[in-house]
């Protein structure tokens, strides 16, 4: 799972869930379910994607730790998951394909404007699928071909 980036190196944001799903398909993937996103982040195994340590600016771009806006990913290496995935917590929330009643969907991960609570691996929240925000982006998941 890798976040989609603009040519500027910043995450793609300001897209609703339908646009996120389209971009994920164009990148050769799809939106993850909330459960898939949670497994990737370590929900049930770790408090934060990187482990139990409270977030610092080396872990995540969060309200109390970052520049107050999206930032280029890949620089917060202390926040890597055990599998090496970066920027799972903070910087931008990430759309999932999990629907909720009332034309909503689950987003995960927290953003540059989130408190550290929202960066926890198990935390999820619901928003309307038509919401566009500078703090919501997309991290497609690609299916691996079966081993032969």
Q: Which of 109, 111, 120, 107 is nearest to 48 (CA)?
A: 120
List Cβ neighbours of 130 (8 Å cut-off, separation of 6 or more): 16, 17, 103
Does residue 5 register a pLDDT over 60?
no
Q: Tell me, what CATH number does 72's domain have?
A: 3.90.1580.10
Q: Does 42 have pLDDT greater than 60? A: yes
**DSSP type of residue 11:** B
Number of neighbours of residue 23 by Cβ within 10 angstroms: 18
Instruction: Tell me, yes or no, whether 61 lies in a domain.
Output: yes
Model pLDDT, residue 9: 82
Q: Taking a C-beta distance cutoff of 8 angstroms, is the pair 47, 59 a contact? A: no
In whole angstroms, give the CA distance from residue 36 to residue 40. 6
Enter the pTM of the model. 0.91
Q: Look at residue 7 in the predicted model and tell me its pLDDT.
A: 60
The number of folded domains in the chain is 1
Identify which of 51, 55, 53, 54 has the alpha carbon closest to the alpha carbon of residue 41.
51
Which of 3-17, 63-77, 105-119 comes out lowest in average pLDDT? 3-17
**6 belongs to a structural domain:** no
In 3D space, the residue among 87, 99, 96, 110 whose CA is nearest the CA of residue 24 turns out to be 96
> Which domain, by its residues, includes 74?
17-137
| Mean of pLDDT values over 107-129 | 97
Distance, in Å, from the CA atom of 89 to the CA atom of 93, rounded to the nearest integer, reads 8
């Amino acid at each position: 799972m890798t976040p989609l980036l603009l040519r500027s190196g910043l995450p793609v944001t300001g897209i609703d869930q339908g646009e996120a799903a389209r971009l994920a398909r164009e990148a050769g993937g799809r939106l993850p379910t909330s459960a898939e996103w949670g497994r990737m982040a370590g929900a049930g195994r770790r408090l934060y994607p990187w482990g139990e340590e409270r977030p610092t600016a080396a872990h995540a771009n969060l309200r109390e730790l970052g520049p107050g806006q999206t930032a280029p990913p890949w620089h917060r290496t202390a926040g890597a998951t055990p599998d090496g995935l970066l920027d799972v917590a903070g910087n931008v929330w990430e759309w999932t394909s999990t629907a909720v009643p009332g034309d909503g969907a689950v987003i995960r991960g927290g953003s540059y404007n989130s408190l550290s609570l929202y960066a926890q691996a198990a935390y999820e929240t619901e928003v309307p699928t038509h919401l566009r925000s500078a703090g919501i982006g997309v991290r497609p998941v690609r299916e691996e071909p079966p081993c032969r």
